[in-house]
Amino acid sequence: MSDQIFYAAIREEIPIVLLTKDEALTLEAFGFDLIKHKKVDSQEFYQCSTDCLVFNPQVDCAKCSGEGCTECNGSGYFELTEDDLYRTLREIVKKGGAELPYISMEFAYGQEYPVGLTDIGGSAIFITPDHICRTDTAQWLEEMRGLYLSGQFPTHDFTLAA
Ligand SMILES: [Zn+2]
């Protein structure tokens, strides 16, 4: 596990004005680099990707009241989950309107060397204001095996060049 590399990329450029400071900190806690760049109309955007995705990052308890803090049980920090990442992205999309109606993100994981048969894969996540959809490559292949074996294989074949 420790030798694995986890990449993630958000495929849309996120208008900087849509992100609160807390949302930017959450993305950075998960390891995302927020690369700022300008578009022609001087609007600024972030490109968000990482080659070192952090699982269950810890963030400081912003409203901490010390030992008796009910927010963090006195630990001074929270551990974020994958769900928190998706919730944060959904909050951003809710503010996005026509400019950012969805966020699509891809994960990939693997080992540098040697690559084991069970140690590579990826996921795709599609987030709208109302829905969070996710599929994994392993899950998709399992579905294909099931469809093939039950005679319900889809007809939209990948077309090979002649
Ligand atoms: Zn606290």
CA–CA distance, 103 with 54 (Å, rounded to integer):
19
Look at residue 95 in the predicted model and tell me its pLDDT. Answer: 97
Residue-wise pLDDT for 23-60, tens only, equals 999 999 999 999 999 887 889 999 999 999 998 999 88
Helix (H, G, I), strand (E, B) or coil at 80: coil
Averaged pLDDT score across all residues of the chain: 90
Rounded to the nearest whole angstrom, what is the distance from the C-alpha of residue 78 to the centroid of ligand 1?
A: 8
Rounded to the nearest whole angstrom, what is the distance from the C-alpha of residue 28 to the centroid of ligand 1?
A: 20
| Domain residue ranges of the chain, discontinuous segments joined by + | 4-149
Rounded to the nearest whole angstrom, what is the distance from the C-alpha of residue 69 to the centroid of ligand 1?
A: 5
Give the number of C-alpha atoms closer than 13 A to the C-alpha of residue 140, restricted to the C-beta side: 9
Supply 41's token pair. 């109309």
Rounded to the nearest whole angstrom, what is the distance from the C-alpha of residue 129 to the centroid of ligand 1?
A: 29
Residue-wise pLDDT for 61-95, tens only, equals 888 998 899 888 899 998 999 999 999 999 999 99
pLDDT band of residue 16 (cuts 50, 70, 90) is: very high
Rounded to the nearest whole angstrom, what is the distance from the C-alpha of residue 8 to the centroid of ligand 1?
A: 30
Supply φ then ψ for residue 55, to 5 degrees: -90, 140
